[in-house]
Chain A
Amino acid sequence: MTLVLEAAVLGILTGGVYALMASGLTLIFGVMRIINVGHGALVVLGAYLSFALFRSLHMDPFLSLVVTMPAMFALGVVLQLVFIRPLKTDREALSVLVTYALALGIEGVLGYVFTTNFVELRAWYETASFAVFGFHITWVYVFGFVLCLTILGALFLMLYRTSFGGAIRATMLNRTAAQLIGVDVDRVAAIAFGIGVATAAAGGVVFGITNAFNPGSHYDLISRLLTIIVLGGLGSLRGAVIAALIMLVSEDITQVLISPVWANFVFFVILVAILIVRPQGLYGVRVRDRI
């Protein structure tokens, strides 16, 4: 029983990471109606950046965020301007291909620079843990979870308490209407993308601390993230967070109760179930294009 409890707790902790990464992804979809298939690669990129900083400057991974988050934000804005904004027609379809291409490019460059060997983000306190309910929780997981909560909290605050956040939400709800009330939707799109990529950097740190990774890890990551936002409902942040928790807790419990091999499978089982029962996801809206 403690095993299940431990798995549940672990699920919540890792769910936080995925919630953070998934929020960035669903935010990007909500504002620009594009599916950033390269989000996993950006997370891995963030992880590698922190890794490089650690390797050369012995910088603590959490500390490196001070550098990587702004850097990735800038990268996100640039990517949006150069590769996404020029897409005028067939946006949804083309953006999938563009972002996939970017993911491949990132994977290629990372593979060239860092080789395909698996690496991990290290911290000097990484083995420290504390005991609760008869099992141990490593502090790094808790730090990671707190980080994710903080950033998610900041994200929600920004979205619901600032005027820029209002502009983002307006664009998400109705792009044309937002334009009509004076929102610079192009700027909002670029900045939203930057924010999404910055959250990927944060996610990358926590992901890199808790998992061994290599440039090819983005495939597994993106398939999970995509499944999460489909479950949560494309464009819904609330949905992304809740879906991430559901998915990760289910996965960890399955790992303990059935087998690690089938734990991965849980994601897809839940996805298929959702698609059959409620294709728009938990908080999504059934879309009829125009009536």
Chain B
Amino acid sequence: MSNDQRRAFLRQAGLGLGGAALGGFIPGIGHVSAATAAELLDPLAPKAPQFPAKIKSVIWLHQNGAPSTLDLYDFKPDLQKLAGQPVPASFLKGIKTSTQGGVGKLYASNQRTWKQHGDSGAWFSNLLPNLATQADKLTFIKSSTTVGATHDISILKLNTGDLNPGRPSLGAWINYALGSANPDLPSYVVLYNGDREPSAGSVNWSSGFLPAVYQGTAFRPGDSPILYLERPELRNAVQQRTSLDLLKRLNLIGADRYPHDTELKARLQSYELADRMQAAAPAAVDISKESAATKELYGLNDKTSQSYGEVLLRARRLVEHGVRFVQVVSGFPEGVETDRQSWDAHSELDANHAVMARMVDKPIAGLLHDLKERGLLDSTLVVWTSEFGRTSWGESGTGRDHNPWGYTQWMAGGGLKAGFTYGETDEVGLQVADKDKAVDTYDLHATVLHLMGLDHLKTTFIHNGRSERPTVVYGKVIKEILA
């Protein structure tokens, strides 16, 4: 609902802070505009989905840097056979390649072995032994496609649906459409491991043209996820409360001159949320009291997987506390020698993926197992996603270049056909085999929204006189993978 629509609705419904409040008078503050009064009602109040939802929370596991799914899930015996040869022209039809130095010869690592797992017979390489045990929980999308030659713009498209900044991320749309299930925590949280913030930047959890209050909040990795959570020692709780009340009054007086400015209101909201977080957040992110068995399950005892495991354990706890969208951006293990600090293996893929796969393998397997054990898997959606895949031809001899024409992603959780694979790539794993089964990022978004009880076509926001939706002008729910 736009601000105008909401105001009209409120006026008609006679809601507000005492009948006089709508565009009227608030005791202690004086006269305020209608917009201010409307926004005093909570923009993050929970809203019902458009139809019954299958899931309540999403854990979006963005594998930053683009892993080679040809070395993880997409077993291509023909690629092994043809390795070392130039790419046959038939496979290159219809794509524009831009590899530096030209398209190399097909590449397959000789360190890769493949096996089928579970009742579903899903293929996993030797790089993911733990995740392989969860094979029957996964719904593979082996015909993923997207656009883009560079990480930043493709990551932006993956998260916000456009190659240019300015649109809200998927988490922001969900936050807008469904509101918060827990008023004491941000309902859209961004987590990452490694020692630096995700390189693609905060535009990937931005609220875009939606009101600023719907953006994601990033929590730091490590021991103090939320710095400055405690108030200063010399200020007691009563002082804190009265100061915040004064802040609210001052800000409202100021905001009256800018009734359409949602950012000013969002800032006011952020102080209130910060205050509530002081009480609620420590419990939510504290993993020290988890059992030793759980810590082992998430790979916390292995240096390579420890930081990612901690992040996923936090993610589970946040979901338990009602956070709607947890965006996890993979980093890299601390203290481990890696040439590239992400999955982006343009060279030396074996060395890179040995580390990166080990970083995520146990934690993700642990997360899936743990969610199932706690009865949360049916109401949660876990998504393995990346900005693109990697090419079948080698780069610099031992790496792979970017491949937006056919790669693998997977989802797991409520409302899906578990142990199922949708779509496939061609014999060498380069392009989607059947173009009609191609799953673009918009289709992924449409499907996630559908599972949350939202029709992507009807989740709209009027911006600049135009109706906008998460999937821009595209998007198709992949009905074949729904249970």
Whether A associates with B in a native complex is no
Chain A residues packing against B (C-beta within 8 Å): none
Chain B residues packing against A (C-beta within 8 Å): none
